[in-house]
Copies of this chain bind each other. A is one copy, B any other.
Amino acid sequence: MPKRTIYEAVTERLEILDKDGKADKALVPRLSDEQFRTLYRNMVWMRRFDEKALNLQRQGRLGTYGSLRGQEAAQAGLALAMEDGDWMVPSFREHGIMMLRGIPGHLIYAFWKGDERGSRFPEGTRCLPPAIPVGSQLLHAVGVGLALKLRGEDSVAVGFAGDGASSEGDFHEALNFAGVFRPKTVFYIQNNQWAISVPFKQQTAAGSIAQRAHGYGIPGIQVDGNDVLACYAAAKEALERARSGEGATLIEAHTYRMENHTTADDAKKYRPPEELEYWSQRDPVARMRVFLQSRKLWSEAEEASFLEEASARVDRDVEALEAMPAPHPSEIFDHMYSELPWNLVEQREALLNEVGR
């Protein structure tokens, strides 16, 4: 053999529920019936929240909105695996898990309405504000995870990004820093197959994002992102690894963006209907429902009451959103620095005179 092997490894994919929701018994995580129910309920709730947002946008009550439809399992599974003190470093499509982590829905709606107050989360939620420049936030997740390690805290930072974001230089720098400094960080990449109009196969010639981990000396795994049990299990393992000081993991949640990129986009222009069809048959919510049914954890009646509950919560979010007073113009200036410099004092004054305080 002419050449000597200096590196040999594999990239694996974890699936627990098959496309129809039938579980591989051996792999089903040991969760209580209530936890299984919770996983399902949380997905139902997210979907309601999402549908309402699309609605509000159509009625002009929200601005441009990015739907998470199809990614409910990826976010609900991870959410159940995370601990209270853990940090989130989100991109812009993580509102499902943000709600589950205690961020009030009306703030999330406010963000999409074009209100910075929507990114002032309640103290202690340990969630950084959503980052729009794709990929850039993964470095922040490394920094937070490093802080947790340096302080000997028992918490982990989860950094989110999409498949498109994985092409940005910052993705590389973040994973490489993570390999070197071994922060308490988990990289959670939701590969929903599209970056606006660019399909994953045009985003990279690599067959998966998970295999990028080979370049950084950290573990990487792909998980069926429409399989909430698999997402939970993979996240749990990675979070434990980080928590116990063994460093970062790259998780690729292989899922699908069921909606337009945002309400400003029209996916019909670039996306084959068969593809939507294919993924509809792998709907994360439906698959979990089948699992619950197989365990006798589901009933029409319960379903109805979840739905009602979910709708009620979402309606309360909308009320709270619309009860927010308009932001005061001075907000433009007041959070730029720890104190107002002379130029902002002048500009603020001028604006207040203009609008008549």
Contacts and interface: CB of A to CB of B under 8 A. Distances in A.
Interface stretch (A43-51, A76-84, A170-178): A170-178
A255 to B, nearest CB: 15
A222 B2 CA distance: 13
A262 to B, nearest CB: 24
Count this chain's copies in the assembly. 2
A247 to B, nearest CB: 8
A205 B221 contact: no
A296 interface: no
Contacts of A5: 10-13
Contacts of A202: 180
A225 interface: no
Interface string A9-47: 111111100000000001100000000000000000000
Nearest to A14: B3
Contact of A6 (B11, B179, B215): B11
A214 interface: yes
Given A4-B13, A12-B5, A15-B4, A216 B221 contact: no
Which of A6, A167, A210 has its CB near the most chain B CB atoms (within 10 A)?
A6
A249 to B, nearest CB: 13
A204 interface: yes
B15 A27 contact: no
B168 A180 contact: no
A6 B208 contact: yes
Contacts of A8: 9-11
Contacts of A3: 12-14, 221
Chain A, interface size category, equals 35 or more
A96 to B, nearest CB: 25
A167 B2 CA distance: 30
A212 interface: yes
Instruction: Tell me the dominant secondary structure on chain A's binding face.
Output: mixed
Contacts of A270: none
Contacts of A4: 12-15
A146 to B, nearest CB: 14
Contact of A214 (B9, B170, B171): B9
A9 B10 contact: yes
A176 B180 contact: no
A3 to B, nearest CB: 4
Contacts of A10: 5, 7-9
A179 B167 contact: no
A13 B309 CA distance: 60
17 contacts: A3-B12, A3-B221, A4-B12, A5-B10, A5-B12, A5-B13, A6-B207, A7-B207, A7-B210, A8-B9, A168-B169, A169-B173, A171-B172, A179-B206, A180-B205, A205-B216, A206-B214
Given A7-B211, A180-B204, A205-B216, 19 more contacts: A2-B26, A3-B221, A4-B14, A5-B12, A6-B11, A6-B12, A6-B13, A6-B208, A6-B210, A7-B9, A7-B11, A8-B11, A169-B169, A169-B170, A172-B173, A180-B203, A205-B217, A206-B216, A214-B214
